[in-house]
Structure 1
């Protein structure tokens, strides 16, 4: 499983968790309105504020997880895609140079 698959799975877990939290927050705020603790506008603001905080936290979590994953892969010696692409380009150039030299030798 490559790093992008792990990241996708982590994000899906985060999205699922966020959905559950949003649902529970909505249920709690609806119950507070029903109990007369707060009015519907306050409940809506409460839900929006909490969801905004979750979105900010989730963005921070995602970027932190991505950095940690990149560091871990680097520590394990796993090359980045850009490094692999650069090496493939260098190999292609070297193969071309070898073919050119071989063609010159046979002329």
Structure 2
């Protein structure tokens, strides 16, 4: 499994947990309203507060996952995509230069 797949799966699991939490919050607040423990307005505010708090926690988790992955990749000394493209361009340039030299060398021998 690639690093990107692991990140994707972690984020999907986090998002899934957030959705389940929202559904459970709504279910619990509905039950409390039905039981007369809180008013509808209180239930709506509570649900919004909890969902917003969950959203912030999810964002924090995503940020921490990204930071951890970045640090992990740094430890493996893996180049960035930009560095890879730069090296790829340099290799292509060198291949062209080599081909031109070989072509020129072949003409001189004739």
Query: With structure 1 as the length reference, what TM-score do the two structures score?
Result: 0.90
Supply the distance in 1 between the matched residues of 2:96 and 2:28 (Cα, whole angstroms): 68
Counterpart in 2 of 1:70? Answer: 70
SS at match of 1:106: helix
Taking structure 2 as the reference length, what is the TM-score of the superposition?
0.87
**Alignment root-mean-square deviation, CA:** 1.4
Q: Would you say how many aligned residue pairs link Structure 1 and Structure 2? A: 107
Match of 1:33 in 2: 33
**Structure-2 residue corresponding to 1:98:** 98
The whole-number CA distance in structure 1 between the counterparts of 2:100 and 2:45 is 71
List 4+ stretches of structure 1 deviating above 3 A.
Answer: none
The equivalent residue for 2:43 is 43
Q: Distance in 2 between matches of 1:74 and 1:86?
A: 18
Structure 1: stretches of 5+ with no match in the other structure: none
> Any idea what the Cα deviations from partners look like across 1:3-48, whole Å, max 9, x if unmatched?
2111110111001111111111111111110121111121111111
Q: Which has the higher contact order (CA 8 A, sep 6+)?
A: 2
